[in-house]
Amino acid sequence: MIATTFDQIVADFQDWKLPELTPRRASLSLLPRKADVVVGMRRSGKTFRLFQEIQSLISGGMERSRILYINFEDERLLPLDAKRLQEIPEALYRRFPENRGRECWYLFDEIQNIDGFEGFVRRILDQFSARVILTGSSARLLGREISTKLRGRATTTEILPFSFRESLACAKVNIPTKWPAPAEARSRLEHHFHRYLGTGGFPEVHDLDDAKRVRLLQEYMNVVLLRDVAERYSVTNITALRYLMRRLVHAPATLFSMNKIFNDLRSQGLSVGKDSLHAYLTYFEDAFLLFSVNLASTSERRRMVNPRKCYLVDHGLARAASFEADRDIGHLLENIVYVELRRRFAKIEYYITNSGHEVDFLAEDLLGNRSVIQASADISKAPTRDREVRALDEAMRECRLRESVLVTLREEELITVGSGRIRVVPAWRWLCETED
């Protein structure tokens, strides 16, 4: 019966029309004899990243007969024993016998629904000329754990909600090829950035009105809370779990202390252990809802005793969770900058200078190259400008860097300081210029 179902899935895929796509800039590793695992929060676009790869393969001249996409949430496949997964390549060979011995591409969506799938994936990588791309995000198994189960036979690619560049592509707004941008193009980019600042980057909400967008984003957070965290980790203290999520989602890009949250809960008569709160934070990070950032320090003790900063996978979640988020555009801007840096850097921390001034980001790439970046919505007032410039100047000197970036909403200039120069750039331009 299953073999017949797989035969039908193979046949259906050959006639299936790929949906219209907004190209995502996250590149897959595509290493021989390694599975690529696409990870990220629910509804970030992992499935469409698979479709994009299919489109790229076909555009590059590969016969569609050598490509197979299967969604393991297809009700025709449930229940399915892992032992029957071997029928997949055999079904492809039955329809296209010339494929036996040729390289074929298998793209498996939500394969974690099948217990023991990892043995099958390793086997086809070993025994067949195969390329495999997987996605996973559910209460049963999160994406990054798929890589662990494959025991070194996988590389991961993180899919985040639309970047500003991707939202421009979705809206069919062209990015200038030369800077400074012409006046009309600048106005168009500024307009779209303020829209992006308000809506966030989740693909599904891109064209929704405010009420529908807020309702859908709230549903995303509820699904993460109840399925990806509470159900998966058997958390029974839902009240404390929800309280922690609300505290972190309502105040992105701010320092937080788990001790303070613990004491706040206790003052309200809610019983929960500190260890449980730390575990809850890890669960939310595993589900890609949010990320915590440590203080940059060579001292592990100093890193541990100082508060962390929390950033959301998408700033739109903060605006959907609370109207108060609109009051602090600076924190929303900082969240946008963090997520953009996450696309390009391997390590991101915040930095405190020797005199106590804070710089939002000290970022380091895989080659050890470091950058310091500050985000400030408005530096038109002298005290704000002096504070941000002083912090960057000191950080550049201490980190032995000659340049830094100050991302704002509108201001643009080049500031020379004792340690080098600070490039002040509006967010819409910085995000357009940023390379993945």
Above 70 in pLDDT, residue 142?
Answer: no
* CA end-to-end distance (rounded Å), the chain: 46
Average pLDDT over residues 310-324: 91
Distance between CA atoms of 4 and 325, rounded to whole angstroms? 53
Residue 321 within a domain: yes
Q: What is the pLDDT of residue 396?
A: 98
Residue 180 within a domain: no
Query: 250 with 317, same domain?
Result: yes
Residue 247 within a domain: yes
Average pLDDT over residues 353-358: 97
Residue 92 within a domain: yes
Average pLDDT over residues 374-379: 97
Query: 10 with 95, same domain?
Result: yes
Residue 344 makes CB contacts below 8 A (sequence gap 6+) with 363, 365, 434, 435, 436
Query: 147 with 213, same domain?
Result: no
CA distances, 72 to each of 69, 85, 107, 401 (Å): 10, 11, 11, 49
Whole-structure pTM value = 0.93
The enclosing domain of 309 has a CATH number of: 1.10.10.10
Please check whether residue 138 is in contact with residue 112, taking contact to mean a CB–CB distance below 8 angstroms.
yes
Query: 114 with 240, same domain?
Result: no
Residue 401 within a domain: no
Above 60 in pLDDT, residue 200?
Answer: yes
Give the domain range for residue 283. 208-327
Q: Which of 276, 292, 327 is the last residue of a domain?
A: 327
Q: What is the pLDDT of residue 436?
A: 44
Residue 375 within a domain: no
Q: What is the pLDDT of residue 2?
A: 60
Average pLDDT of the chain?
92
Query: 98 with 237, same domain?
Result: no
Query: 123 with 223, same domain?
Result: no
Tokens linked to 29 = 């590793």
Q: Residues 230-245: pLDDT tens digits?
A: 998 999 999 999 999 9
Q: Which of 94, 128, 159 is the last residue of a domain?
A: 159
Confidence of residue 435 (pLDDT cuts 50, 70, 90): low
Q: Which of 327, 359, 374 is the last residue of a domain?
A: 327
Please check whether residue 46 is in contact with residue 39, taking contact to mean a CB–CB distance below 8 angstroms.
yes
Query: 15 with 132, same domain?
Result: yes
Average pLDDT over residues 141-154: 74
Burial of 111 (0-12, 13-18, 19+ CB in 10 A): buried
Q: What is the pLDDT of residue 136?
A: 73
Query: 227 with 125, same domain?
Result: no
Helix, strand or coil for residue 18?
coil
Residue 141 within a domain: yes
Residue 226 within a domain: yes
Above 80 in pLDDT, residue 149?
Answer: no
Query: 126 with 231, same domain?
Result: no
Above 70 in pLDDT, residue 143?
Answer: no
The enclosing domain of 152 has a CATH number of: 3.40.50.300
Helix, strand or coil for residue 39?
strand
Residue 130: CA count within 13 A, CB half-sphere:
25
Nearest C-alpha neighbor of 114 from the set 73, 154, 152: 73
Q: What is the pLDDT of residue 137?
A: 66
Q: Residues 24-48: pLDDT tens digits?
A: 999 999 998 999 999 899 999 999 9
Query: 6 with 140, same domain?
Result: yes
Average pLDDT over residues 41-68: 96
Q: Where are the beta strands (DSSP E) in 1-97?
A: 35-39, 67-71
Query: 119 with 9, same domain?
Result: yes
Query: 124 with 19, same domain?
Result: yes
Confidence of residue 328 (pLDDT cuts 50, 70, 90): confident
Domain total in the chain? 2
Query: pLDDT: is 150 or 368 the higher one?
Result: 368
